[in-house]
Structures are given as C-alpha cells and as structure tokens.
Amino acid sequence: MNAIVFAQTGGPEVLALADVPRPEARAGWVLIKNHAIGVNFADTRFRQGTYTVKPKLPDTPGMEVAGVIEAVGDGVTNLRPGMRVAAFTSRAYAEYCVSPAFMAIPLPDSLSFVDGAAFLIQGLTAYHALHTMDTTGPGKSVLVHAAAGGVGLAAIQLAKAAGARVFGTVSSDAKAGLAKEAGADAVINYVKDKFADEVLRLTGDRGVDLILDAVGKPTFEEGLRCLAAFGHIVLRTRGRRAGSAEPLGPLPEIAEGERALAADPDEGLSREDAGKRRAVLRAHARGPAQALHQQDVSPGAGGAGASPSRVAGVDG
C-alpha cells in the first residue's frame, strides 16, 4: 500500500511517498481503509522527533482517521467489515491502518468522513476539559485561550451548547472572527488588550469559573488574576511547539489585595482564609508549579490550608 514515510526526523522535506506492507487486523483490532485522515500539530512534532511519542524510523505520522472497516480481528464482536468508522490509530498517513476495536467509533451516514476524521482528538480533548475535569453548564463562565485553534473552536461550541457564557482570546483580529462565528460571547485580542482586565470588566470583577489554557507561562499568571473563587484552570501544554513553551517555574506570591488571594467580602472569603491561601502558595513557590498537576486543592481536599481553586493538567 502507499504511505507517507520519513526515514529521518526534520522538516516536511523528509516526508516521502513509499510502498509499505499493509497491516493485518490482529486479535481485538480492526483494519480500516482510510478515506480521510486528521492532520494535527502533534504530527509535526512527531516528524521532528520532539513529541512525547518518539518515531521508530522509518515511520509514518498520523493519529486519527475515518474510513470503512476492511477486516476485523479475532474477538471483535461490536464492529464488522463495511462499517463506516472514525478511529484513533497510528501511522494514519496511508491507504490502510489498524486500530484497537474499542477506539473505533461508528459514523452515522449523516457525518462525512472528513468531519469524522476531524473531531476525534480536538473534540474529545475539549469535551474532557469542560465536562470531565470540570462541570460546565448554565450559569458558568469559561475563558478559552487559543480560541481560533481546533480545540479552542470545539470548546467554544461545546461550552455554548452546555449553556455557559464563553470568552475567547486570540492573537489577531482575523482569528477573532473565527471564534466569534463559533459562538463566543466576547473575543479578546490579547496583543491589543490585557485579557485579564477585559475578563474582569466583562464579568463585573467576578472572573471566570474555568480557564482552558493551551499556552502556559505567558497566560497562566494573568489567568490567576481573572479566575473566580473556586474556579479551575486546565493546562494542556505538552506537545506544543518545541522550545516555545516556558516552564511555569515557582508560583508567584500574590500580594494581599490582588484578587486571587484577597479577602473579598463579595465572595465570602475572610482575611483569615486569605492568609491560609497565601501560605499554600508560598509553600508551592518553594517548588515547581508542576506540583499542582492534577492536584485538587479545593476546600476539603487539602485540609485547613487548602486553596479554593484547582489547577489541573492535560497532556496534549
């Protein structure tokens, strides 16, 4: 079969068309005739050798497809040859690929192969951040960074469908139109305006309940400033551009009077509670902020000194 192969890591020039053996559907797997493949930034990182999963040269990129099942392996009972599916896979840039049966999702006839191949990684990442790592619904507010990207656009639509108020940040006015078209209530060009100031203005100084942060250090500290009490920040920075994502480093010590730690009577926080929260941040400042990865520091989770916000990580 034909496949896109690279024998060394590097730029797009290392990709070449090659004839390779067609894979077989082993037990518990399905063989798919590809009709459309998803192209993700992670594929670029994989080709460069800088992604979490390293290539085994020569190798083929690609992690999601849509197509028709050609054959099923032993033990597969929920899928059959001829079914239209979208699937998570590896080496998708080819005429055929294999996928574990539990990672193949039947496609309704109303959904095209192109749409089927496009929604898996981006759509499910957005859904997981909104509904597994938090509870998004009516009365909640969400700030989506990189709002014009694939995950960002999916997150805007899913959050709006759940009844939330949605803000997005973008780096240009051209991208702002994409986020607005997807349904964002307000879109902030962070090159022109400080997004935290705009969010606080738009929410009457309350802040947002959930921030989906795909950037990291440049947006994290400003995000803390516009995060509502008991709010969550979901970080998904692994897999981004090689060398561009700065490590978070120690958490900043936020002075009394700034919103993340201030005793704010409108939010029912006493000065004593604010002091306890400062103590927690000072403790974390002595070590890397990654210590908060997947750590629940909401009241009741960490004892008397627990902070009322949660910072969680998503590997992307």
Check residue 253 and give its pLDDT: 54
Residue 9 has pLDDT above 60, yes or no: yes
Task: Assess contact for 309 and 120: CB atoms under 8 A.
Answer: no
Kindly give the residue spans of alpha helices, DSSP state H, lying in the chain.
41-48, 113-127, 150-161, 173-182, 195-202, 217-225, 271-285
Check residue 197 and give its pLDDT: 97
| Angstrom distance (rounded) from CA 130 to CA 133 | 6
- For residue 65, which phi and psi values (nearest 5 degrees)? -145, 165
Check residue 250 and give its pLDDT: 61
Task: Assess contact for 127 and 161: CB atoms under 8 A.
Answer: no
Residue with tokens 């349904």: 183
| Angstrom distance (rounded) from CA 51 to CA 45 | 5
The token pair at 251 is: 């958490």
Task: Assess contact for 86 and 104: CB atoms under 8 A.
Answer: yes
2-111 and 122-315 share one CATH topology? Answer: no
Pick the CATH number of 2-111 from 3.40.1450.10, 3.90.180.10, 3.30.70.330, 1.25.40.10: 3.90.180.10
Give the E-state strand segments of 203-292 in sequence order.
208-213, 227-238
| Angstrom distance (rounded) from CA 293 to CA 67 | 36
**Domain extents in the chain:** 2-111, 122-315
Q: What angle (nearest 5°) sits at the alpha carbon of residue 183, between those of residues 177 and 184?
A: 75
Alpha-carbon dihedral angle through residues 210, 216, 219, 221, given to the nearest 10 degrees: 80
Residue 93 has pLDDT above 90, yes or no: yes
Task: Assess contact for 142 and 209: CB atoms under 8 A.
Answer: yes
94: left (phi over 0), alpha (psi -120 to 50) or beta: beta
Residues 97-144: tens digit of each pLDDT: 999 999 999 999 999 999 999 989 999 999 999 999 999 999 999 999
Residue with tokens 């054959």: 71
Residue with tokens 């100084």: 205
Residues 245-292: tens digit of each pLDDT: 456 666 555 444 333 333 233 334 444 544 444 444 333 333 333 333
| Angstrom distance (rounded) from CA 230 to CA 208 | 10
Residues 267-277: tens digit of each pLDDT: 344 445 444 44
CATH code, residues 122-315: 3.40.50.720
| Angstrom distance (rounded) from CA 164 to CA 162 | 6
